[in-house]
Amino acid sequence: MSEAPPSVDRCTWCGSLPEYVAYHDEEWGVPEYDDRALFEKLILDGFQAGLSWITILRKRENFRRAFAGFEPAAIARFGDDDVERLMQDAGIIRNRAKIVNTVKSARLWLDIQEKEAGFAALLWSHLDGGRPVQNEWESDRQVPAETPLSVAMSKDLKARGFRFVGPTIVYAFMQAVGMVNDHVVTCHRHGAVRALARKA
């Protein structure tokens, strides 16, 4: 697991835990356009509700194993027996409502893939020109918990039948998948993420 030298400036939220540092340096804020990967992240952010992200991060591989690699076509076929199996899986968060929602969300995802331009296109269409928002925060304390953009995306997802997609969860999702660059300006990743957005 790679880590930048301790002297490198980072967003303060990631602290010094190796898992958080690697996630911050390698994933958080990188623009994601893959339909399946966006589905996985949205589901995991929903499971995070009421918990810390480090809890989910440490269980992420267990989640991937339990939910068939987050392949929506496979999850959509899950039945009551699968839900009960997952409720006995100590490697994940055993919340029945969130497990059932994952199965329903997979079916909704398939419907979007079939009838629309795709899940990624749907989500990114909420951004002006499909371009990531480049913020210029000087401190983590300035970063909002939600924005009008996350409220709009939340409403759209809820109207389609998704659950655990409130504006705060959606904003955390948008930060993670690079729809917004919320690395503070002093963070060594701020400029790198901005450059990735330009390429995209």
Q: What is the pTM of this model?
A: 0.94
191 within a domain of the structure (yes/no): yes
> Is the per-residue pLDDT at 3 higher than 60?
no
Give 199's pLDDT tier (boundaries 50, 70, 90).
Answer: confident
- The binding site consists of 11, 24, 183, 187
How much of the chain exceeds pLDDT 70, in percent? Answer: 96
Listed as own residue / partner, the contacts of 63-71 with beta carbons closer than 8 Å and 24 or more positions apart are: 63/91, 63/92, 64/40, 65/91, 66/91, 66/92, 67/43, 67/102, 70/36, 70/39, 70/40, 70/43, 71/36
| 44/136 Cα distance (integer angstroms) | 27
Q: What mean pLDDT, rounded, does the chain reach?
A: 95
Binding residues for Zn(2+), by number, are 11, 24, 183, 187
Mean pLDDT of all residues in 92-117: 98
Residue 1's pLDDT is what?
A: 47
Does 110 reside within a domain? yes
DSSP string, 116-161: SS-HHHHHHTTSGGGPPEE---SSGGG--S--HHHHHHHHHHHHTT
Q: What is the pLDDT of residues 30-42, one digit of tens each?
A: 999 999 999 999 9
Residue 109 is classified by DSSP as: H
Per-residue pLDDT of 41-99, as tens digits, reads 999 999 998 899 999 999 999 999 999 999 999 999 999 999 999 999 999 999 999 99
User: Tokens standing for 189?
Assistant: 């990743």
Give yes or no for residue 2 having a pLDDT over 80: no
Position 20 in a domain: no
Confidence grade of residue 6 (pLDDT, cut at 50, 70, 90): low
Alpha carbons 176 and 24: distance in angstroms, whole number: 9
Mean pLDDT over 127-133 rounds to: 95
Domain count, the chain: 1
Residue 18 lies in a domain: no
Strand partners, 133: 180
| Residue 134 within any structural domain of the chain | yes
40 lies in a domain?
yes
For 104, the domain range is: 31-199
* Residue 168: pLDDT band with limits 50, 70, 90: very high
> In angstroms, rounded to a whole number, what is the distance separating the alpha carbons of residues 70 and 75?
7
CATH number at residue 115: 1.10.340.30
151 inside domain: yes
